Amino acid sequence: MRLFVGVDLPTEARHELAARLAQTHLPGSVVAPDNWHLTLRFIGGVDEAALDRLVFELSEAETAGPFPVRFAEMGAFSRPSRASVLWLGVDRGGDELAALAGAVDEAVDRAGFGQEDRPFQPHLTLSRLRPARDVRPVLASGPALPVRWVADSFALFSSHLGPGGATYRVEERFPL
């Protein structure tokens, strides 16, 4: 199983964000709203034996409880003039998401998968661009996206690749 840990959006926030983005032409391979989430930690391939240990460690992660999240402006990795990912950042809840990502990273490490090398940056991937391209015009004309919601859980997701792209399934949910 290919796994990652993330925070998914509640249905209302998903619908509100989709409605606000409906008038915006996003370049590249656009992520379907059903797949929107904030990744806390990518894990990769996991066999059944390691899955039980991982679920146990994630259930024991020390978390601070539910917290509000608000989306902010769009941005791009690695840079707007040559972007491979168009994303939506957060301007409320970022510190809490970083703390949660740290707790998840520690749990994943205890489960035997090591620690994350890259610093955590909370974002929602909107589209992937292959080849990379200039998205400065999209960023300059992007709509206001101050969608708010309360993060009250995180989840272990499996990723399934298919002809229409990846689909994600919640394998286990953990309350905050």
Could you tell me if 167 and 160 are in contact, meaning their C-beta atoms sit under 8 angstroms apart? yes
| Whole-prediction pTM | 0.93
11-68 pLDDT per residue, tens: 999 999 999 998 888 999 999 999 999 999 999 999 988 999 999 999 999 999 999 9
What per-residue confidence (pLDDT) applies to 159?
Answer: 93
Q: Pick the residue with more confidence: 25 or 102?
A: 102
Q: What is the mean pLDDT of the chain?
A: 94
Whether the predicted pLDDT of 164 surpasses 90: no
Preceding amide of 78 cis, omega within 30: yes
Q: Pick the residue with more confidence: 111 or 161?
A: 111
Whether the predicted pLDDT of 166 surpasses 90: no
Angle between helices 94-108 and 48-59 (to 10 degrees): 130
Residue 121 neighbours by CB under 8 Å, 6+ apart? none
Give Dmax (Cα) for the chain. Answer: 48
SS3 state of residue 53: helix
What percentage of residues in the chain have a pLDDT greater than 70? 100
Active site residues: 37, 123
* Mean pLDDT confidence for 83-97: 96
